[in-house]
């Protein structure tokens, strides 16, 4: 079943909060506390996340997901393991929730706690999904889940729409983590 990002944004038109974005490199308190740290971002925050800090030369894994998306829920345990296995090896990983902004304090943290997720998590809050989709990838139609791996220069070196196969993702990450050394 293909899930379109634009479906999510029906009803979000009335909600327009702009919250300062903290970069993934600054958001490591989650690992220490044992729960994922959830921040809200807008389109500018998403673009900042994708552009990254010039001083941060770690590969970046970005996964777009939602608690209401069955394939997202199915792949999430693999992503938690990837985060645990590769964080110390230099992988920067951010999970971007496309849940309704009202779920930032309820369904999203409940799901993350069940998954024992500790990676930085942001909840994307935009009125119109199309600019966000285009900012990420011109070939992405908004299908969830969607996974993008950026190399140390910020170039997409792996992308997958739908549930990602853990072994394919790990092989792509291994190439990037290994290329740093």
Whole-number pLDDT of residue 55: 77
Q: What is the pTM of this model?
A: 0.80
Whole-number pLDDT of residue 176: 95
Residues 6+ apart with CB under 8 A from 166: 75, 78, 81, 82
Task: Dump pLDDT digits (tens) for 38-62.
Answer: 899 999 999 999 987 777 789 999 9
Query: What is the residue extent of each domain of the chain?
Result: 36-49+57-179
H or E, element range at 86: helix 70-86
Exposure on the CB side of residue 90, measured as CA atoms within 13 A: 16
Q: How confident is the model at residue 28 (pLDDT cuts 50, 70, 90)?
A: very low
Q: What token pair was written down for 74?
A: 């199915």
Across the range 120-146, mean pLDDT stands at 93
- Strand pairing class (38-41; 146-150): unpaired
Across the range 132-161, mean pLDDT stands at 94
* Res. 36: pLDDT tops 90: no
CATH of domain 36-49+57-179: 3.40.30.10
CA distance 91 to 99: 25
Across the range 74-90, mean pLDDT stands at 96
Mean pLDDT over the full length of the chain: 81
């Amino acid at each position: 079943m293909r899930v379109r990002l634009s479906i999510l944004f029906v009803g979000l038109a009335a909600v327009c909060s702009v919250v300062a974005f903290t970069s993934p490199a600054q958001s490591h308190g989650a690992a220490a506390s044992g729960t994922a740290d959830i921040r809200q971002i807008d389109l500018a925050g998403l673009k900042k996340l994708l552009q990254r800090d010039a001083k941060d030369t770690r590969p970046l894994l970005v996964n777009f997901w939602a608690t209401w998306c069955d394939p997202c829920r199915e792949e999430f345990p693999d992503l938690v393991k990837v985060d645990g296995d590769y964080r110390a090896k230099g992988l920067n990983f951010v999970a971007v929730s496309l849940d309704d902004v009202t779920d930032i304090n309820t369904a999203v943290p409940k799901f993350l706690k069940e998954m024992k997720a500790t990676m930085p998590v942001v909840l994307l809050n935009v009125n119109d999904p199309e600019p966000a989709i285009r900012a990420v990838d011109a070939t992405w139609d908004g299908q969830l889940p969607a996974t993008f791996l950026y190399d140390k220069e910020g170039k997409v070196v792996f992308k997958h729409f739908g549930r990602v196969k853990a072994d394919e993702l790990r092989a792509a990450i291994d190439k990037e983590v290994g290329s740093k050394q």
